[in-house]
Structure 1
């Protein structure tokens, strides 16, 4: 079957949304070859019966019945297995993801983008009728992703549940947790895509049914971040950083015999940065998309123009404004700089 787009839609008690969703997809993609793959996890409200009616009416609708809750991420993978399209779309069944955006996403794919993300947080995107608490939870979750998974740094909405991806990129793709809800997070960390773009959309208020956001989803997200977090790489990165302190002090000890302190200190810092870069480049980060000189200049700039100034200003702020002990102020400032170094190095210097 020659299909351009396979649209995977996980369902659980979405009977009232199904017919409108299918009709809006049909209008959006009326001149494009597509299929809809519903993956149901044991709906009890008549969702399956509605889909069966639509299957008889339209030949491009498939249904995978799984009988019980097995997780959104595994639903996505099961949908991919049964798909025939060149591109895969994941979207919700609750009409919060506007089907009218599908054609725009496909057009971007034809322009050469491997991954097209419908974004709530770039210019032009917005969310309807969210409480301050829910917005805070969403922004905090993104911040957590940026810190622990810097591969997501270039994306404004790394937790979007609405995206299109080239199917070929999913050949060996496995999710960190089949019960996780944020498939895109796994893709951003694991998939070797080339070109990515975000397009704005309005995240609509749910018309029918109940939102599935709750404590379970929050804990599932934290578990997913932990599973995706490369702990061994993180440890290696900071061991290299500690070795850089030793090199800094050793270089200063040797240079002080030949140069005044202000020159010796500067050269010692530069030598330690070069040392850190070489070790990180050789032993910590295996994926290198940028050229050597570009990586080095970014690495040098990240420390000289970003983390070190922030470290210095943070120490001054904590000591003079908040009255914190000078040693504790310096320690906290070093910790802040260390986090910035990790995020910048992994997300920008060695990012996708």
Structure 2
């Protein structure tokens, strides 16, 4: 006897997809999810956690949430890191007509999400920003230094932002799907300020609104903000200002190469003043020292999203960096020695000429060999 097919269970189609990027937020994801459920009572929603391969059990905590509530799901990223790209992947995976982004650290006030959604439903707004600087909002317990840094960053953001909002640095916002899709192909993926990237990447200025909220103090976990965040922010600004001409990553590589020039020329000056070793050897040693310096600084700054970690990967990366740069280094030393020995150029002029020859080759080769995208 053939049994009739079992009807598929009726699924609730989400109206709102909430994207939560995570990295080592084990103790926050549970309380945050419960807070979202309470705040979004009566709204069909889903929560998409995007985890950058946390090592503290964050994914296990998310799995426990998903096991009891099908509105939660996880995207696990391996070999990729960065808040902006994590949010972008989460938004692209979402199915709802309205999209929201909120941090996992519970510093954003999830209780204003229904108001943000209601504004988008009205059809006159593309983007609603949770603002710390709108009337009624606050930056919470920030010290004077952090407040000054935020104020400067906000002013710089106006160089590239096409939206008239008081808090372009906010990480808390809601957006319509068409508005996000209009920007997504122009996103740089640099840094951690995805809202600013979206506002600078749309073909036309978005219709915006703001909802004030009080920025809360982190309770559990550690802040992901560090001094390198400033560098990532500057790369985002550079990408939006000059990226159509020169990639921001290449500008970073050149800048660090410029710092390497000081290392190179300093070492060369010391050896030339000492009169030992001969110039060709001094130039070779100086080039090697600059190469090592450039590798470690680029690994920290230029390729932070692909950063090599651990003794094995770092050692392998350094060797591949040296190997990839060997052609540039040979040209560097050969041209410098040719100008110094045959044409009697000043040692520092010959040294600079050698450095310039290898710059473009080094960037192209190492981006493919040493820090290739996974």
Q: TM-score range by the shorter chain?
A: 0.5 to 0.7
Give secondary structure in 1 for the equivalent of 2:239. Answer: helix
Q: Does 1:182 align with 2:196?
A: no
**Cα shift at 1:68:** 4.2
Q: Does 1:43 align with 2:72?
A: no
Q: Does 1:12 align with 2:48?
A: no
Q: Does 1:169 align with 2:179?
A: yes
Give secondary structure in 1 for the equivalent of 2:17. Answer: strand
Counterparts of residues 256-267 of structure 1 (less than 5 Å): none
Q: In 2, distance between residues paired with 1:176 and 1:21?
A: 28
Q: Does 1:134 align with 2:146?
A: yes
Q: In 1, distance between residues paired with 2:155 and 2:25?
A: 31
- 2:268 maps to none
**Cα shift at 1:176:** 4.0
**Cα shift at 1:231:** 7.9
Give secondary structure in 1 for the equivalent of 2:113. Answer: helix
Q: Does 1:26 align with 2:34?
A: no
Counterparts of residues 244-255 of structure 1 (less than 5 Å): none
* Contact 2:47–2:71 (8 Å) recurs in 1: yes
Residue from 70, 89, 92 that aligns with 1:81: 92
* Contact 2:112–2:211 (8 Å) recurs in 1: no
* Contact 2:48–2:94 (8 Å) recurs in 1: yes
Q: In 1, distance between residues paired with 2:58 and 2:96?
A: 24
* Contact 1:90–1:163 (8 Å) recurs in 2: yes
**Cα shift at 1:116:** 0.3
**Cα shift at 1:195:** 2.1
Q: In 2, distance between residues paired with 1:229 and 1:82?
A: 29
Counterparts of residues 88-99 of structure 1 (less than 5 Å): 88-99=99-110
* Ranges in structure 2 where 5+ consecutive residues have no aligned partner: 1-11, 246-374
* Contact 2:162–2:205 (8 Å) recurs in 1: no
Q: In 2, distance between residues paired with 1:202 and 1:161?
A: 13
Counterparts of residues 289-308 of structure 1 (less than 5 Å): none
Q: In 1, distance between residues paired with 2:201 and 2:189?
A: 15
Q: In 1, distance between residues paired with 2:72 and 2:36?
A: 12
Counterparts of residues 1-352 of structure 1 (less than 5 Å): 2-112=13-123, 113-146=125-158, 148-149=159-160, 151-152=162-163, 154-172=164-182, 173-174=184-185, 176-191=187-202, 192=204, 194-229=206-241
Q: What TM-score, normalized by structure 2, do the two folds share? A: 0.59
Moved more, 61-70 or 129-138: 61-70
* Contact 1:176–1:224 (8 Å) recurs in 2: no
Give secondary structure in 1 for the equivalent of 2:162. Answer: helix
**Cα shift at 1:32:** 0.5
Q: In 2, distance between residues paired with 1:66 and 1:116?
A: 28
Give secondary structure in 2 for the equivalent of 1:228. Answer: helix
Q: What TM-score, normalized by structure 1, do the two folds share? A: 0.63
- 2:353 maps to none
* Contact 1:96–1:204 (8 Å) recurs in 2: yes
Q: In 2, distance between residues paired with 1:32 and 1:224?
A: 35
Q: RCO greater where, 1 or 2, for CA within 8 Å and sep 6 or more?
A: 1
Q: In 2, distance between residues paired with 1:98 and 1:170?
A: 22
* Contact 2:190–2:236 (8 Å) recurs in 1: no
**Cα shift at 1:38:** 0.3
Q: In 1, distance between residues paired with 2:161 and 2:70?
A: 42
Give secondary structure in 1 for the equivalent of 2:136. Answer: coil
Q: In 2, distance between residues paired with 1:126 and 1:206?
A: 15
Query: Cα gap change, 1:222/1:52 in structure 2, threshold over 3 Å: closer, same or farther?
Result: same
Give secondary structure in 1 for the equivalent of 2:165. Answer: coil
Say how many residue pairs are matched: 231
* Ranges in structure 1 where 5+ consecutive residues have no aligned partner: 234-352
Q: In 1, distance between residues paired with 2:205 and 2:17?
A: 19
Q: In 2, distance between residues paired with 1:174 and 1:59?
A: 30
> What is the alpha-carbon root mean square deviation over aligned residues?
1.8
* Contact 1:119–1:199 (8 Å) recurs in 2: yes
Query: Cα gap change, 1:193/1:106 in structure 2, threshold over 3 Å: closer, same or farther?
Result: farther
